């Protein structure tokens, strides 16, 4: 309640200063608010723009936000960062934190440390954005800091450009009992909670006076979701149990069970088949039960109920970890309603990461998806633009002249060529017998490209995508001025001229999954797949090199070394 009363107060304060804002906008885009506003009326007077630089407000300090900030030439903008956590977390190592292979503090880097290294000022505010008002270009925030500290926890910020990089939240698919009784693995705190709970399960299982069935239930760990997070956690837990816990809790050694519930037919189904089947075989040898084709219907404090091949089953559990995908955060959902994207799952952007239906707002990382333009929507304009001699047909030369722009603007064309094993784009225009046609008419052109859009793919919700998007957007921001006068993107087919920038293009650099017992699976560029012990060593070197600072690199490597020498720490702190 207090938040919204304060927001409306702030809003009224804003209307009184509209005249001055208008004046300042017309004099060079600067938004400076009137001094006549009583400071007491406005909880965040000091947060209004005072410099002539355009203000960029960044929401989130995860992979996308940090990558954007690292690449941005922040001397060009007044940069303000808002995030409820004052650190960056290296999420790929979260599964290792759940079992103490790596300590939580080893995978986080304080934002203020990262900012301090920049020669220019970037302001960081530890707060959560609760609402985006795109019409008035402002965001409303609340800090979760101790209410007993003096001062207001609520404030608003104005922006010229807004970068939404708030990530996503766990998706429970409204399954009853999940929010109440399951653990999640999304944030550092989640991993710490899981670590404590695993130890609790063991301590409880060895208390005197429990029946064997009760002990067995307490050390039954269920993981819902057979994607990389669920699989890596299952593997970590198995190692923790086998290498450390059974020595400390020998009485329950034969009762421990790990079960992975997966709705699809295979675990790791976004990976190459060879990795997925290697993981299934390894889990089979390790005694990790994998229940495929199963869907959880509800969870209670003691039971997990699921549907498996039409039958409803119940399993007693000690602990359930839910890791089945992500959904939009409330602030994003609310924003989507505002801008007419209410029926979507995540925010849609165009290929330049601009939120559709909204000016000067960009979204990247897990909170957004690039809505790739369909070539069929533009097919007539492409044809007309290419047919420079207005003959009603395209010659090969005419087609060649627009090919590069087509490939860049509609990357699904390239994927289509790959899927059909066509070496050259002009192969598209060949006739049914494979003979090159000197000219094609509109209908032939349209039918040649009619199946191309089937290859349009959504980008995965990964750190790799988020980081590449952040880096891309920072480059666009750094070159905004030059590209206004000298655009460098592909030609516009619907309008004349060129796009200001090249559209975002994702480059997949491969992916890893650790499978326990010092083994991992890797899918690397060029369809190169590798599994086993050597891959785990490759994983160690890649993840050590990917750390965001020398400090965390040192901490992570020393944690790995400590684990090899002394094992994992089972204290329940």
Where do contacts with Mg ion occur on this chain (CB under 5 A)? 387, 389, 391
Segment lying near ligand FAD (by CB under 6 A), choices 88-96, 384-392, 409-417, 530-538: 88-96
Q: Whose Cβ is closer to ligand FAD: residue 144's or residue 152's? A: 144
The CB-of-444 to Mg ion minimum distance in angstroms stands at 13
Report residue 8 as tokens: 């409306």
Strands 319-322 and 182-184: parallel
Q: Which of 103, 239, 244, 366 binds ligand FAD (CB under 6 A)?
A: 366
Q: Which residue is nearest to ligand FAD (CB)?
A: 62
The CB-of-400 to Mg ion minimum distance in angstroms stands at 12
Is the C-alpha dihedral spanning 193, 195, 200, 201 positive or negative?
Answer: positive
Q: Is 174 exposed, middle or buried (0-12, 13-18, 19+ CB in 10 A)?
A: exposed
Q: Give dist(CA 570, CA 573) in Å, integer.
A: 9
Strands 154-158 and 138-142: antiparallel
* Residue 365 contact partner, candidates Mg ion, ligand FAD, none, CB within 5 to 8 A by sort of partner: ligand FAD
Distances (CA, A) of 327 to 166, 345, 372: 12, 7, 20
Distances (CA, A) of 427 to 36, 140, 323, 382, 451: 68, 53, 44, 18, 14
Q: How many CA atoms lie within 13 A of 461 on its CB side?
A: 24
Segment lying near ligand FAD (by CB under 6 A), choices 82-90, 397-405, 485-493, 552-560: 82-90
Using CB under 6 A as the binding rule, the residues of this chain from 498 to 557 that contact ligand FAD are: none
Length, in residues, of the chain = 573
The reply to whether 32 sits near ligand FAD by the rule CB under 6 A is no
Q: Give dist(CA 501, CA 498) in Å, integer.
A: 8
Q: Whose Cβ is closer to ligand FAD: residue 366's or residue 405's? A: 366
* Residue 239 contact partner, candidates Mg ion, ligand FAD, none, CB within 5 to 8 A by sort of partner: none
The reply to whether 227 sits near ligand FAD by the rule CB under 6 A is no
Q: Which of 80, 91, 143, 341 binds ligand FAD (CB under 6 A)?
A: 91
Using CB under 6 A as the binding rule, the residues of this chain from 53 to 72 that contact ligand FAD are: 59-65
Using CB under 6 A as the binding rule, the residues of this chain from 441 to 470 that contact ligand FAD are: 461-464, 466
State whether residue 162 is helix, strand or coil.
strand
The CB-of-431 to Mg ion minimum distance in angstroms stands at 18
The reply to whether 166 sits near ligand FAD by the rule CB under 6 A is yes
Q: Give dist(CA 540, CA 560) in Å, integer.
A: 9
The reply to whether 225 sits near ligand FAD by the rule CB under 6 A is no
Q: Give dist(CA 542, CA 220) in Å, integer.
A: 33
Residues 6+ apart with CB under 8 A from 213: none
The DSSP line for 17-36 is THHHHHHHHHTTS-----TT
Q: Which of 31, 48, 82, 198 binds ligand FAD (CB under 6 A)?
A: 82
Using CB under 6 A as the binding rule, the residues of this chain from 281 to 340 that contact ligand FAD are: 329, 331
The CB-of-464 to ligand FAD minimum distance in angstroms stands at 4
Q: Which of 14, 42, 54, 186 binds ligand FAD (CB under 6 A)?
A: 186
**In the complex, which residues of this chain contact ligand FAD (CB under 6 A)?**
59-65, 82-85, 91-92, 94-95, 128-129, 165-167, 185-186, 229, 329, 331, 365-367, 461-464, 466
């Amino acid at each position: 309640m207090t938040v919204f009363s304060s927001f409306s107060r702030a809003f009224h304060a804003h209307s009184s200063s509209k005249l001055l804002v208008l004046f300042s906008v017309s004099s060079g885009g600067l938004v400076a608010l009137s001094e006549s506003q009583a400071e007491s009326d406005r909880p965040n007077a000091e947060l209004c723009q005072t410099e002539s630089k355009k203000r960029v407000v960044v929401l989130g300090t995860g992979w996308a936000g940090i990558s954007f900030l690292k690449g941005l030439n922040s001397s060009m903008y007044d940069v303000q960062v808002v995030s409820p956590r004052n650190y960056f977390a290296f999420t790929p190592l979260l599964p290792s934190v759940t079992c103490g292979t790596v300590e939580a503090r080893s995978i986080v880097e304080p934002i203020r440390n990262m900012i301090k290294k920049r020669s220019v000022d970037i302001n960081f505010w530890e707060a959560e954005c609760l609402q985006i008002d795109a019409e008035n270009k402002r965001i409303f925030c609340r800090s979760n800091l101790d209410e007993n500290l003096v001062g207001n926890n609520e404030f608003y910020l104005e922006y010229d450009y807004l970068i939404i990089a708030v990530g996503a939240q766990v998706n429970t698919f409204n399954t009853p009992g999940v929010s109440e009784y399951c653990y999640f693995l999304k944030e550092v705190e989640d991993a710490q909670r899981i670590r404590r709970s695993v130890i609790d399960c063991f301590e409880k299982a060895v208390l005197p006076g429990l029946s064997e069935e009760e002990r067995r239930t307490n050390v039954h760990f269920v993981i819902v979701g057979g994607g990389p997070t669920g699989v890596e956690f299952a593997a970590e837990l198995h190692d923790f149990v086998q290498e450390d816990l059974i020595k400390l809790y020998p009485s329950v050694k034969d009762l421990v069970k790990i079960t992975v519930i997966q709705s699809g037919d295979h675990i790791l189904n976004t990976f190459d088949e060879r990795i997925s089947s290697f993981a299934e075989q390894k889990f089979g040898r390790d005694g990790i039960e994998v229940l495929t084709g199963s869907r959880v219907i509800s969870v209670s404090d003691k039971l997990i109920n699921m549907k498996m091949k039409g039958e409803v089953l119940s399993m007693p559990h000690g602990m359930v970890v839910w890791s089945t995908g992500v959904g939009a955060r409330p602030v994003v959902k609310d924003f989507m309603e505002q801008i007419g994207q209410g029926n979507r799952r995540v925010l849609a952007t165009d290929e330049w990461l601009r939120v559709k239906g909204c000016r000067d707002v960009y979204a990247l990382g897990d909170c957004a998806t690039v809505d790739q333009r369909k070539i069929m929507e533009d097919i007539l304009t492409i044809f007309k633009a290419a047919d420079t001699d207005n003959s009603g047909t395209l010659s090969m030369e005419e087609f060649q002249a627009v090919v590069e722009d087509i490939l860049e603007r509609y990357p699904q064309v390239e994927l289509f060529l790959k899927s059909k094993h066509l070496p050259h784009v002009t192969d598209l225009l060949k006739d049914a017998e494979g003979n090159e046609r000197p000219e094609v008419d509109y209908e032939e052109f349209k039918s040649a490209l009619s199946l191309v859009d089937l290859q349009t793919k959504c980008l995965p919700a990964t750190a790799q995508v988020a980081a590449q998007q952040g880096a891309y957007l920072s480059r666009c921001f750094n070159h905004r001025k030059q590209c206004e006068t000298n655009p460098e993107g592909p030609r516009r087919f619907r309008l004349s001229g060129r796009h200001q920038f090249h559209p975002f293009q994702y480059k997949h650099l491969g992916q890893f999954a650790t499978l326990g017992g010092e083994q991992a699976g890797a899918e690397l560029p060029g369809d190169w797949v590798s599994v086993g012990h050597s891959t785990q060593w490759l994983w160690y070197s890649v993840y050590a090199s990917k750390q965001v600072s020398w400090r965390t690199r040192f901490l992570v490597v020393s944690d790995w070394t400590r684990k090899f020498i002394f094992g994992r720490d089972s204290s329940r702190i």
